[in-house]
Amino acid sequence: MKSFTIQEINDTLKGVLVGNTTQAITGPEQLEQAANDQITFIGDKKYAKLWETSKACAVILNDTIELEPGENRAIIKVKNADIAMAELLEMFVPQLPVFDTDIHPTAVIHPSATIGKSCKIGAGCYVGKDVVIGNETVLYPNVTVLDNTRIGANTSIWPGAVIRERTIVGNYCIIHPNVTIGADGFGFRPSPDGKGLIKIPHIGNVIIGNGVEIGANSCVDRGKFSATIVGDGCKIDNLIQIGHNSKMGRSCIMAGASGLAGSVTLGDGVIIGGGARINDHVTLGNGVSVGGNSGVINDWPDGAKVMGYPAVDARDALKQWVILRKLVKESKK
């Protein structure tokens, strides 16, 4: 088990150390649940009162919060406790699953595939015709990569993921379990005789940028004509749907169970809350923020903050909710 002194932790965080503890620190934990060999964090002053009763031997907190360390306890003051906690967690990351052999004997790799240096391919994987995989990429057990796909270097693809044909995945990506990239887009039209539906072929592909993370059980459908694009640095939560021909800019965030219909365009730095839905052909500008469970049916310019169903400017939504509460109260009189 990993452990560090308070000084070793502060050397990494580069904060201001107040007080001291001789306790070896074995990991981080929430204020209320921490043991005396653990470190905790406070990012908001409303939680500062919990420090007194917490068993933690150390705390990381924003430098705007005033606390006394106490006996054999230490405080590390930083500008942003959330970012400092992320750096601390890196120190305590457990070892990843171990490969006894770089390429498991049960993996099926087409002779035409190109596998980079120091790659690892787990049990039950399938790598198809003319696939190219960059250096130090890891395919965990039971990953499927179909024909003519290109995967960059230092990318990790976890068990059960399916990367369909002609997909392009960048460097330093993380694809979590059971993700599907490059499946058919959802396109059907009524048949002329009115007795069924005609499936519209989707002959495009998916392009995933560098540094993208896609959460478990999420789907990115391929384009009808060209490509569905997920830009560099995007972070996609679990259970996300990204429809055909959608285009995401750089460093967008989509929280769990949200979705993009077909041909949605997102600028850079767009944030979509959990459960929010974006209608087809909608364009959201740079830095747009969409509240959880909202339904967006029209375009929004750079920097807009929207919420509600249908989504409106966040300030207008709050005013509407106040009016509704007042109407409810009046109706009960």
Order across the sheet with 156-157: list the strands: 120-121, 138-139, 156-157, 174-175, 213-214, 235-236, 253-254, 271-272, 289-290, 305-307, 312-313
CA distances from 325 to 34, 138, 292 (A): 40, 53, 20
Active-site annotation holder among 104, 110, 176, 244: 244
Cβ 31 vs Cβ 40: under 8 Å:
yes
Q: Among this protein's residues, is 176 annotated catalytic?
A: no
Task: DSSP letter for 73, please.
Answer: -
The set of residues, in sequence order, having a beta carbon less than 8 Å from that of 75 and lying 6+ positions away, is: 17, 18, 19, 58, 59, 61, 67, 69
| Neighbouring C-alpha atoms within 13 Å toward the C-beta of 85 | 17
Q: Which residues are catalytic?
A: 244
